[in-house]
Amino acid sequence: MLDSHSVLRQIYGTPLGLLTDLYQLTMAHAYWKTGGAESEAVFHLFFRSNPFGGGYAISAGLDQVIDYFNDYQFDAADVAYLSELRGNDDKPLFEPGFLTHLKELQLQCDLDAIPEGTVVFPHQPLLRVRGPLIQCQLLETALLNIINFQTLVATKASRITSVCGDDPVLEFGLRRAQGIDGALSASRAAFIGGCAATSNVLAGKLFGIPVKGTHAHSWVMCFDNEREAFETYADAMPNNCVFLVDTYDTLQGVRHAIDVGQRLKERGHQMVGIRLDSGDLAYLSIEARKLLDEAGFHDAAIVASNDLDEQIIRSLKEQGAQISVWGVGTKLSTAFDQPALGGVYKLSAIKPTGGQWQPKTKLSEQAIKTSTPGILQVRRYFDDQGAQADMIFNELDGASDDCVMIDPLDPTRRKTFASDQKHEDLLTPVFRNGTRVCERISLAKIRTRREQQLQQFHSGIRRHTYPHQYPVGLETKLNELKTNLILQAR
Ligand SMILES: Nc1ncnc2c1ncn2[C@@H]1O[C@H](COP(=O)(O)OP(=O)(O)OP(=O)(O)O)[C@@H](O)[C@H]1O
Ligand SMILES: O=P(O)(O)OC[C@H]1O[C@H](OP(=O)(O)OP(=O)(O)O)[C@H](O)[C@@H]1O
Ligand SMILES: O=C(O)c1cccnc1
């Protein structure tokens, strides 16, 4: 199954094999030279704590991972570049045979992934990559780059949109995002997280996100007075009038908008609303609403922007602010209060050619950082109330019949599930032997999935202060395997 287009290719116009850390290539070279390259390996991508001190995260980025797999390639120019790199003896870093291997490389990996828009938790694999060791290793950095950022921003957007209820949130982050790709990826992830539209027109074109916009202070400042600015704008753009009213005196600005709105009405158009971008947004929105309603503009929206985030929006709502549309930029697209998710990609099992699977774990002084061995799957159990707990198990063993889940950090904490209890396995096949085996899901469906997913969970996980900790544990045999590997290593 071939994909007709790849957004990554459209943006960068080049294959992205070199979008990796040099050490992936030096390890790949060493595997190739010493015979380990074709051993079968399994890696999992997971994060260790929920971002923003919250109770959940929203998975995002898989569609770009699919693009990345589809486009994975080292072209002639890439190989020529690599051939020029030198080691500390000034000799070529990579042998020509390895560079030929890269040039001819075709991904043979299997990929299983938790679908985008799913509510996810620490320690559960979002991606599982299985295939030749050399290939799994080469994929690490870009997979982390894609999933870490989009999952982070989708989660931030989900927190913001949850506070806004049914009010639309417009993502305005492009101008202050971390570079071009940071902005584009943020627009996509923000939409998954529940934003209604973006101001980023390229993101609109590439991802099919609705685009929306008002006008800037510069428009008002180019005229002798605000009223003339609004009138001229209304003449030119009668079907997109949201007047920015705070350039000089906000409530006077609302009166000017109302006057121009009346003229628009007479000409058969409708003023969409006004935008507030400074001052006390609670007070000004309440006063603006009164003025608009008195003039009969009951449907006119009050858009607010200015360094908004979920805390300020919640506070504004508590103050009775009459804001109906929220423009959120910097704090959303840069994931301002936590700039990285901290997801990792760890080897968990290896099978030398002709040998048996060997589960692997990476020890750490901190128990929470010790990685889980095996070929993992995540099983989400449901009861009448919704999602009850997630159990990670090892597909090499299968889940045990009594389905007991253990908290690896406190083995006295356990949960037992009935063998016929409703459940869903979260990791689903995406690639088999380098070929895509699943349908691509539209961004609109992913966005809806997030909404539906959140309904499956106790509202306590959505709480921003001291959220409920959703139970995630290891199936008994997997916990034993992990404990034994730790004991052996020590
Ligand atoms: N009623 C309110 N309650 C809580 N926060 C508010 C309220 N009104 C505005 N804010 C927030 O307070 C911050 C105030 O921003 P700032 O100090 O830049 O003031 P300003 O009035 O916007 O000035 P400027 O003209 O420089 O933009 C913004 O993040 C804004 O969203
Ligand atoms: O505050 P954010 O959440 O990042 O939202 C985007 C901000 O960007 C614009 O301001 P800017 O001063 O750049 O331009 P302007 O002159 O159009 O207001 C806009 O007016 C918002 O305040
Ligand atoms: O359309 C807007 O109002 C807008 C767009 C980008 C940034 N700030 C505001």
- Do 54 and 155 touch, CB atoms closer than 8 A? yes
Cα–Cα distance for residue pair 299/305, rounded to 1 Å: 19
For residues 419 and 271, membership in a common domain is answered with: no
For residues 123 and 174, membership in a common domain is answered with: no
Q: What is the pLDDT of residues 178-220, one digit of tens each?
A: 999 999 999 999 999 999 999 999 999 999 999 999 999 999 9
For residues 378 and 322, membership in a common domain is answered with: no
For residue 255, the tally of other CB atoms under 10 A from its CB is: 16
For residues 343 and 455, membership in a common domain is answered with: yes
Chain Cα centroid distance, residue 477: 32
Q: What is the DSSP letter of 166?
A: T
Identify the CATH number of the domain in which residue 169 sits: 3.20.20.70
Cα–Cα distance for residue pair 345/50, rounded to 1 Å: 16
Phi, psi of 481 (to 5 degrees): -60, -45
Q: Is 388 helix (H, G, I), strand (E, B) or coil?
A: strand
Sign of CA dihedral 32, 36, 42, 44: negative
Ligand lying nearest the CA atom of residue 217: 2
- Do 334 and 460 touch, CB atoms closer than 8 A? no
Q: Which two tokens stand for residue 103?
A: 């040039």
| b/e 17-27 (16+ beta carbons within 10 angstroms → b) | bbebeeebbeb
Q: What is the pLDDT of residues 394-436, one digit of tens each?
A: 998 887 777 899 998 888 999 999 989 999 999 999 999 999 9
Ligand lying nearest the CA atom of residue 177: 2
Domain end residue (candidates: 277, 298, 333) = 333
Q: What local confidence, expressed as pLDDT, does residue 466 receive?
A: 95
For residues 362 and 485, membership in a common domain is answered with: yes
Residues whose CB is less than 8 angstroms from the CB of residue 377 and which lie 6 or more positions away in sequence, other chains included: 128, 392, 393, 394, 395, 425, 426, 427
For residues 147 and 10, membership in a common domain is answered with: yes
pLDDT-derived band at 370 (thresholds 50, 70, 90) equals confident
Identify the CATH number of the domain in which residue 29 sits: 3.20.140.10
Which amino acid makes up residue 419?
S
Strand partners, 376: 394
Placement of tokens 């006390």 in the chain: 280
Q: What is the pLDDT of residues 156-166, one digit of tens each?
A: 999 999 999 99
Strands 428-432 and 435-436: antiparallel
Sign of CA dihedral 189, 193, 199, 205: positive
Residue whose CA lies nearest to ligand 3 atom number 9: 172
Domain end residue (candidates: 299, 333, 367) = 333
For residues 343 and 323, membership in a common domain is answered with: no
Residue whose CA lies nearest to ligand 2 atom number 13: 175
Phi, psi of 22 (to 5 degrees): -55, -35
For residues 131 and 191, membership in a common domain is answered with: no
Q: What local confidence, expressed as pLDDT, does residue 171 receive?
A: 99
* CB 330 less than 6 A from any atom of ligand 1: no
- Do 345 and 144 touch, CB atoms closer than 8 A? yes
Q: Name the domain count of the chain.
A: 2
For residues 168 and 124, membership in a common domain is answered with: no
Q: What local confidence, expressed as pLDDT, does residue 366 receive?
A: 79
For residues 86 and 200, membership in a common domain is answered with: no
pLDDT-derived band at 79 (thresholds 50, 70, 90) equals very high
Distance between start and end Cα atoms, the chain = 47
Mean pLDDT along residues 374-386:
96
One-character DSSP codes across 80-142:
HHHHH-B-TTSSBSS-HHHHHHHHH-----EEEEPPTT-EE-TTS-SEEEEEEHHHHHHHHHH
Residues whose CB is less than 8 angstroms from the CB of residue 180 and which lie 6 or more positions away in sequence, other chains included: 11
179-192 vs 443-455: helix axis angle to the nearest 10? 50
For residues 298 and 344, membership in a common domain is answered with: no
Strands 273-276 and 242-244: parallel
Give the distance (Å) from ligand 2 centre to CA of residue 304.
10
Q: What local confidence, expressed as pLDDT, does residue 228 receive?
A: 98
Q: What is the pLDDT of residues 285-343, one digit of tens each?
A: 999 999 999 999 999 999 999 999 999 999 999 999 999 999 999 999 999 999 999 99
Give the distance (Å) from ligand 3 centre to CA of residue 171.
8
* CB 307 less than 6 A from any atom of ligand 2: yes
- Do 405 and 415 touch, CB atoms closer than 8 A? yes
Q: What local confidence, expressed as pLDDT, does residue 5 receive?
A: 55
Atom nearest to 217 CA in ligand 2: 16
**Residue 100 C-beta-side C-alpha neighbours within 13 Å:** 4
Ligand lying nearest the CA atom of residue 284: 1
For residues 48 and 150, membership in a common domain is answered with: yes
Mapped to the 3 state alphabet, what secondary structure does 22-71 carry?
HHHHHHHHHHHHHCCCCCEEEEEEECCCCHHHCCCEECCCHHHHHHHHHC
Q: What local confidence, expressed as pLDDT, does residue 3 receive?
A: 47
Q: Which two tokens stand for residue 23?
A: 């050490």
Q: Which two tokens stand for residue 334?
A: 């840069």
Q: What local confidence, expressed as pLDDT, does residue 4 receive?
A: 46
pLDDT-derived band at 136 (thresholds 50, 70, 90) equals very high
Cα–Cα distance for residue pair 312/240, rounded to 1 Å: 27
Of all residues in the chain, the percent with pLDDT exceeding 70 is: 99
Domain end residue (candidates: 313, 333, 353) = 333
Q: Is the pLDDT of residue 276 over 80?
A: yes
* CB 311 less than 6 A from any atom of ligand 1: no
Give the distance (Å) from ligand 1 centre to CA of residue 304.
11
- The domain in which residue 441 lies consists of 4-154+339-489
Ligand lying nearest the CA atom of residue 214: 3
Average pLDDT in the chain: 95
CA nearest neighbour of 399 among 377, 415, 367: 377
Q: Which two tokens stand for residue 66?
A: 């699919």
- Substitution site in 278, 285, 309 for ligand 1 pocket (most atoms within 8 Å of beta carbon): 278
**Assembly ipTM:** 0.97
